[in-house]
Amino acid sequence: MAYGYITIKPRFELGRTVATKGTTPLCEYLVPFLHRHHCGDWGDLDPDDKAANEKALTDDLRLFSKYLLEDGNGTTHPIYIITESDRSLTTIMLASEY
């Protein structure tokens, strides 16, 4: 039996992707969350915020995701990933940096 990753198609452009200084120690864990955001998995948002993101896809508004990242030490870090309305920039940051 073969095992592998499930590929989901990206739903929008990320533009330039940057991460804040606070995420530096977590860099090795960020890529899967960026992929989820890029494919429209908005993470730990309430249903109204998820619906707002779906509308933002068609109305060219800002996209916002929230995830709970667990590092190699078992510590959980809430992170936000925000893509600007013109899709020129995506920023990954700790929730405490927002």
List, for residues 26-68, the tens digit of each pLDDT value.
Answer: 999 999 999 999 999 999 999 999 999 999 999 999 999 999 9
For residue 1, name the pLDDT band (cuts at 50, 70, 90): very low
Per-residue tokens: 72: 């190699």
Q: How big is the CA angle at 34 (ends 20 and 86), to the nearest 5 degrees?
A: 80
pLDDT score recorded for residue 2: 46
**pLDDT score recorded for residue 10:** 95
Determine if the pTM surpasses 0.85. Answer: yes
- Residue 6 banded pLDDT, cuts 50, 70, 90: low
pLDDT at 37: 97
As a whole number, the mean pLDDT across the chain is: 93
For 74, residues 6+ apart whose C-beta sits below 8 A from its C-beta are: none
